[in-house]
């Protein structure tokens, strides 16, 4: 039946399509990705991709999924430093890493958290799962940071997580969308944001 997933004519079309598509959007943004151009690049006909992705939307969702996985890895690698750094240092490092990811994978980031999928399109079920899991991880971390005194432990962690993520996301967007344009500034603004968000009730 369908135990072995290897396609028939092409080596592994689904994978190739994903790779080529990622290349295309990395080159010139989501606008640079058309099914036809993609099919051309891979060497199949215009409608071949439709046997591996229901939609263009489904293709974009698959790319976004890959992005979440990649981002998860990055976050994991910071968690590993948990014992070596102080809570504020850890938080700042997280923020800067998050921003670096958004910068280096601009277009993927846009797909992951942009309206293209979440509003205009219909997010795939698996994408919804993976993204929810991602937020849950952030929530856990926020709880740790609350215990570490970084955030107010009195406040509901859900709200704190939402607020702080929104602040971070907003910065990334302003940069990624071309409103803030100086990359040098971004890290400065980020550090400032960190200081503003950190609970300062007991600093004196």
d(CA 183, CA 137): 27
Burial bucket for residue 38 (CB in 10 Å: 0-12, 13-18, 19+): buried
Length of the chain: 204
Interface region with DNA, contact rule CB under 7 A, candidates 8-16, 65-73, 183-191, 194-202: 8-16
Kind and range of the H or E element at 40? helix 35-42
d(CA 127, CA 123): 6
Check binding of 70 to DNA (CB under 7 A).
no
Check binding of 44 to DNA (CB under 7 A).
yes
Q: Out of 15, 47, 140, 185, which residue is the one contacting DNA (CB under 7 A)?
A: 47
* Residue 167 interacts with, from a second copy, DNA, none (CB under 5-8 Å by kind): a second copy
For a second copy, the closer of residues 75 and 174 by Cβ is 174
Residues lying near a second copy in the complex (CB under 8 A) are found at 29, 31, 110, 113-115, 118-120, 151-152, 155, 159-160, 162-174, 176-180, 185, 188-189, 192-193, 195-197, 199-201, 203-204
Q: Please name the residue that has the structure tokens 């994903």.
A: 18
Extract the runs of DSSP E, i.e. beta strands, from 23-94: none
- Binding residues for DNA, rule: CB under 7 A, are 1-10, 13, 33-37, 39, 44-48, 50-52, 55-57
């Amino acid at each position: 039946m369908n135990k072995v997933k290897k396609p028939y004519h092409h080596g592994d079309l689904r994978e190739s399509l994903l790779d080529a598509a990622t290349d295309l959007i990395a080159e010139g943004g989501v606008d640079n990705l058309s099914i036809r151009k993609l099919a051309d690049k891979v060497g199949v006909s215009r409608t071949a991709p439709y046997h591996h992705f229901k939609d263009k939307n489904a293709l974009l969702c698959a790319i976004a999924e890959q992005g979440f996985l990649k981002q998860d890895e990055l976050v994991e690698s910071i968690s590993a430093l948990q014992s070596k750094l102080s809570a504020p240092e850890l938080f700042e490092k997280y923020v800067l890493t998050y921003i670096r990811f958004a910068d280096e994978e601009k277009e993927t980031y846009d797909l992951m958290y942009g309206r293209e999928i979440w509003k205009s399109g219909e997010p795939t079920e698996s994408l919804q799962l993976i993204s929810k899991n991602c937020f849950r991880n952030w929530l856990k971390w926020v709880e740790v940071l609350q215990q570490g005194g970084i955030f107010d432990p009195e406040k509901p962690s859900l709200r704190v997580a939402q607020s702080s993520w929104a602040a971070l996301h907003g910065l990334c967007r302003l940069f990624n969308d071309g409103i803030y344009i100086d990359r040098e500034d971004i890290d400065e603004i980020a550090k400032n944001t960190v200081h503003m968000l950190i609970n300062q009730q007991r600093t004196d």
